[in-house]
């Protein structure tokens, strides 16, 4: 594999990027100055140094001077801790947060469960989620599953419901899904405020 193939393979792993686009990125980089490439590679390294993952919701956030372990959502005492929204990824959290329609806590599952999948547990944070739910002195009353409206999203919804069934029953936690107000193929991260507001209102 030459350098072009190697870089193409890396860009292909980016969300929503296929082979052709990945190649275009490589040719774009070839045409830039060495200083451009230097700056890009330094920023990528810096990103990894300056970002950490919240130990409660697993969201990535910029480290502050106090080197806190919790992000500003989880550390905020005014956040409504009676609802927990389970989402696929960081960008979904940002969209919902920006829409201002939801004021509870979050948990990032870290992916969706493919319809045909044998090694699910290694890909999504289901064990971490169970652990979080078993924390004592919780006032959690509802878990809202908020995944994309797609076969994978539906499958993940069912999978998480099944996995949490016992804990939820034992602790009297209701499990609802955001899906009802959204149309098929909807990606949460691209939904507008009204759509999200409706979906949240009509959750079942």
Kindly state the number of chain residues that form the binding site for Zn ion, as judged by CB under 5 A: 6
Q: Is 56 in the site for Zn ion (CB under 5 A)?
A: yes
Question: Interacting stretch for Zn ion, rule CB under 5 A, among 27-35, 42-50, 51-59, 111-119?
Answer: 51-59
Taking CA atoms, 84 is separated from 34, 107, 108, in Å, by 46, 7, 10
Determine which residue in the list 7, 71, 146, 188 makes contact with Zn ion, applying CB under 5 A.
Answer: 71
**Is 54 or 146 the residue whose CB approaches Zn ion more closely?**
54
Chosen residue from 7, 54, 133, 173 binding Zn ion by CB under 5 A: 54
Q: What DSSP assignment string belongs to 26-88? A: HHHHHTS-HHHHHHHHHHHHHHHHHEEE-TTT--EEE--TT--SS-TTTT-TTSEEEEEEEES
Sites for Zn ion among residues 73-132 (CB under 5 A): 74
Of the pair 95, 186, the CB lying nearest Zn ion is at 95
* Minimum distance of Zn ion from residue 57's CB (angstroms): 3
How many CA atoms are closer than 13 Å to the CA of 187, on its beta-carbon side?
Answer: 9
Please report how close the Cβ of residue 75 comes to Zn ion at its closest, in angstroms: 7
Q: Which helix (H) or strand (E) holds 11?
A: helix 3-12
Stretch that binds Zn ion, among 56-64, 141-149, 157-165, 172-180 (CB under 5 A): 56-64
Q: Give the Cα separation of 52 and 150 in Å (integer).
A: 30
The tokens of 169 are what?
């029953």
Secondary structure of residue 164 in the 3-state scheme: helix
Q: Which stretch binds Zn ion (CB under 5 A): 72-80, 84-92, 151-159, 195-203?
A: 72-80
Answer whether 179's CB lies under 8 Å from 195's CB: no
Q: Which of 7, 57, 109, 140 binds Zn ion (CB under 5 A)?
A: 57
Contacts with Zn ion, residue ranges (CB under 5 A): 54, 56-57, 59, 71, 74
């Amino acid at each position: 594999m030459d350098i072009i193939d190697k870089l193409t393979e890396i860009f292909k792993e980016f969300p929503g990027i296929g082979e052709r686009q990945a190649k275009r990125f490589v040719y774009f980089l070839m045409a830039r100055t060495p200083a451009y490439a230097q700056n890009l590679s330094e920023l990528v390294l810096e990103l990894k140094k300056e970002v950490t993952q919240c130990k409660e919701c697993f969201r990535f956030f910029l480290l502050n001077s106090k080197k806190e372990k919790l992000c500003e959502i989880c550390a905020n005492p005014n956040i409504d801790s009676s609802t927990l929204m389970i989402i696929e990824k960081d960008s979904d959290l940002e969209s919902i947060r920006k829409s201002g329609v939801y004021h509870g806590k979050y948990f990032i599952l870290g992916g969706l469960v493919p319809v045909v999948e044998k090694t699910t547990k290694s890909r999504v944070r289901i064990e971490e989620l169970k652990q979080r739910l078993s924390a004592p002195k919780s006032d959690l009353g509802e878990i809202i599953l908020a995944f994309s409206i797609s076969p994978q999203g539906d499958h993940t919804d069912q999978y998480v419901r099944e996995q949490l069934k016992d804990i939820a029953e034992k602790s009297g936690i209701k499990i609802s899904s955001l899906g009802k107000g959204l149309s098929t193929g909807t990606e949460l991260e691209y939904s507008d405020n009204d759509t999200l507001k409706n979906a949240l209102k009509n959750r079942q």
